[in-house]
Amino acid sequence: MAIKQVSVFVENKKGALADALRALSDAGIGLRALSIADTNDFGILRVITDDNAKAMLILSEHGYVCSKTDVVAAAADDKPGGLAALLALLSDAGIDVEYVYAFVAQAKSHACVVLRVKDNAAAEAVLAKAGVSLITEEDIAKL
């Protein structure tokens, strides 16, 4: 049930992020979630889009190095402590989280949390057993 995330290497220079996002926008690709981590020379842009296959194609055509990664997406209560409770479930099960980012869907009572873990199936099993709703690519496409 893991969802796909597109990771893009972007030069750490003025306008580079805007250029990458403009390439997606010009191709009619909608962003659903975004995270970026940077170093002195480059950044790693992580996006969930409404069409990841097309996003990969467009970004590659524009000279970006990109890859697809399976990540877990889950619903966390959109209230103080919601994310902490979700992360505690994974921690208590011995599952390390490499990174996390979140976004709030319109008119929803939860935040959509994207988690990168080493074992997606184990993380999904722990979360599902605890009653956490997992978010599918179909759910994201409807946002």
How far, in Å, CA of 21 to CA of 137, rounded? 21
Residue-range domain boundaries for the chain: 3-69, 70-141
Structure token digits, residue 40: 């002195």
pTM of the predicted protein model: 0.83
- Superfamily holding 3-69: VC0802-like (3.30.2130.10)
Query: pLDDT tens-digit profile of 53-100?
Result: 999 999 999 999 999 999 999 999 888 999 999 999 999 999 999 999
- Classified by CATH at the fold level, domain 70-141 comes out as VC0802-like (3.30.2130)
Structure token digits, residue 104: 């709030």
